């Protein structure tokens, strides 16, 4: 098993960042990500669903775009005498899927080591959190109504084919979720069928919809949280106000407030912008679903005779 690396996903990073990132959808066809079966396959998902360790919300089932209550496909088991609720009953999920439901697997990067490596690489490159979700859709089904997501998405088609319609990013991009009626959207900007190995990049707040074609469709959505200037600046302000000059506020009057603001303003003007931006990568590496370490292995090495 392997995951694509950053270049396989985005192509030439310079071209991606100059022409597509935050601007418009990007289609990469002709299997730029290598053998899709090596990334995730139906066989792999069959094994995962029987693991008895993947529970909602890591796995969810949607029928007609609406979440199926987990009680319809889970039960409680005992492990070491302790009740573990919400354990998936595979046959129930298979039955819902046969009836047309879409099965989604969330934050797979928290379970599947090679997908964690991919999320980690993206977290470092973008300086923000990355998560990976798999969408398994029965033939000729639309999992969800047209919508836009709060995150940048790289859709990797792994099995079957799926028709995607993508419209222009909306004007006021707040990083929220939005829903649309198809008849209100007009002609799509992009109308394309993804085949196994193809990648479609959809910037955040870009309306889209997808419908599977004649076979079961499996695709991964590799998601990256967009970094907003307000988040970056809040981080900087937080770091600059850690000393006791910014401690308890007593009812001191306007001149004291003005003094604090002046102090903060002069510190902001001295900020080393490149160091500040470089800190993003470290922050991304610490994001949930991305962290890595050698705690056990390093202790083992420390105690080995030299």
Of 74 and 130, which has the nearer Cβ to Fe ion?
A: 130
The C-alpha atoms of residue 178 and residue 86 are separated, in whole angstroms, by 29
Residue-wise DSSP of 223-266: EEPPPPHHHHHHHHHHHHT-SGGG-PPPS--HHHHHHHHHHHHH
Whole-number minimum distance, CB 144 to Fe ion, in Å?
7
Q: Which residues of 198-213 are buried (b: 16+ CB within 10 A; e: fewer)?
A: bbbbbbbbbbbbbebb
Of 66 and 278, which has the nearer Cβ to Fe ion?
A: 66
Of 123 and 206, which has the nearer Cβ to Fe ion?
A: 206
Ramachandran angles phi, psi of 4, nearest 5°: -65, 155
Of 16 and 180, which has the nearer Cβ to Fe ion?
A: 180
In the structure, how many helices (H) and strands (E) does the chain have? 10, 15
Whole-number minimum distance, CB 212 to Fe ion, in Å?
14
Smallest CA-to-CA distance from 210 within 234, 196, 230, 191 is with 191
What number of chain residues touch Fe ion (CB under 5 A)? 1
Of 149 and 198, which has the nearer Cβ to Fe ion?
A: 149
Whole-number minimum distance, CB 151 to Fe ion, in Å?
9
Measure the CA angle with vertex 118, ends 286 and 158; round to 5°: 145
Q: What mask, x for binding Fe ion by CB under 5 A, covers residues 55 to 74? A: --------------------
Whole-number minimum distance, CB 60 to Fe ion, in Å?
14
Whole-number minimum distance, CB 10 to Fe ion, in Å?
19
Whole-number minimum distance, CB 208 to Fe ion, in Å?
6
Smallest CA-to-CA distance from 200 within 154, 146, 134, 151 is with 154
Q: How do strand 82-88 and strand 74-79 relate by DSSP bridges?
A: antiparallel
Residues between 261 and 290 with contacts to Fe ion, criterion CB under 5 A: none
Select the residue whose beta carbon is closest to Fe ion and give its number. Answer: 149
Q: What mask, x for binding Fe ion by CB under 5 A, covers residues 123 to 162? A: --------------------------x-------------
Of 74 and 212, which has the nearer Cβ to Fe ion?
A: 212
The C-alpha atoms of residue 219 and residue 301 are separated, in whole angstroms, by 40
Residue numbers at the binding site for Fe ion (CB under 5 A): 149
């Amino acid at each position: 098993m392997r995951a694509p690396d950053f270049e396989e996903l985005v192509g030439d990073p310079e071209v991606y960042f100059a022409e597509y990132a935050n601007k418009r959808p990007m289609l990469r066809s002709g299997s730029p990500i290598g053998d899709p079966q090596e990334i995730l396959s139906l066989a792999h998902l069959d094994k995962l669903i029987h693991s008895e360790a993947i529970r909602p919300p890591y796995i969810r089932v949607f029928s007609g775009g609406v979440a199926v209550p987990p009680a319809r496909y889970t039960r409680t088991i005992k492990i070491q005498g302790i009740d573990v609720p919400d354990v998936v009953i595979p046959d129930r999920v298979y039955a819902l899927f046969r009836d047309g439901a879409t099965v989604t697997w969330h934050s797979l990067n928290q379970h599947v080591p090679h997908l964690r490596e991919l999320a980690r690489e993206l977290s470092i490159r973008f300086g923000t959190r990355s998560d990976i979700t798999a969408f398994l859709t029965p033939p000729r089904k639309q999992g969800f109504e047209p919508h836009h997501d709060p995150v940048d998405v790289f859709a990797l088609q792994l099995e079957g084919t799926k028709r995607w319609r993508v419209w222009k990013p909306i004007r006021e991009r707040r990083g929220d979720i939005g829903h649309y009626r198809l008849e209100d959207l007009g002609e799509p900007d992009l109308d394309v069928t993804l085949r196994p190995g193809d990648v479609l990049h959809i910037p955040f707040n870009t309306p889209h919809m997808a419908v599977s074609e004649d076979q079961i469709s499996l695709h991964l959505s590799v998601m990256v949280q967009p970094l907003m200037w307000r988040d970056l600046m809040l981080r900087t302000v937080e770091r600059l106000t850690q000393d006791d000059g910014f401690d308890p506020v007593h009812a001191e009057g306007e001149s004291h407030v003005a003094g604090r603001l002046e102090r903060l303003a002069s510190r902001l003007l001295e900020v080393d912008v490149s160091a500040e931006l470089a800190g993003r990568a470290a922050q991304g590496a610490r994001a949930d679903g991305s962290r890595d370490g050698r705690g056990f292995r390093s202790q083992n090495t420390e105690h080995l005779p030299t």
